[in-house]
Amino acid sequence: MADGSDTTLTAEQTGGQAPQGLVAGIKSFAAGHGGAKAVIEYVGKRGARIVLVGEDGVWGDQFADDTGVARQACAKAGVTVENAWERELMDQMRPSNDLWRSMARRTMAR
């Protein structure tokens, strides 16, 4: 199993339904960026992080209660879930200038 794989289970799978707000947020991101792909990452008790990469290279994220809910939300939103961070997906990402500046400030502050 690859690191960050969406098949990694959280300690307690809720088996619940994906919240409509989460599905709407994913749909909105995909619509605003010419489509999107997602990578689901397990983040412990907090649940799962859905990293969305738009076709235009812009990326964002959403959080779900667990990986099952995250996968279900992506399916309802019509967004393809990648199993891991493949090179092609990483090459597609284009961080904004604001993000580069914020990362530089964090590095310089250490």
Cα 23 to Cα 95: distance, rounded to the nearest angstrom: 24
pLDDT, residue 104, reads 65
- Looking at the whole model, is its pTM more than 0.85? no
**Which tokens sit at 79?**
């967004």
Cα 61 to Cα 75: distance, rounded to the nearest angstrom: 16
In the chain, which residues have pLDDT < 50? 1-3, 6, 8-12
pLDDT, residue 59, reads 85
pLDDT, residue 102, reads 66
Dump the DSSP string for 37-92.
EEEEEE-GGG-EEEEEEETTS-EEEEEESSHHHHHHHHHHHT-EEESS--HHHHHH
The secondary structure of residue 30, as a DSSP letter, is: H
pLDDT, residue 100, reads 57
- Give per-residue pLDDT as tens, 67-90: 999 999 999 999 999 887 677 766
**Which tokens sit at 65?**
């209660």
> Hey, is 7 helix, strand or coil?
coil
pLDDT, residue 73, reads 95
pLDDT, residue 78, reads 95
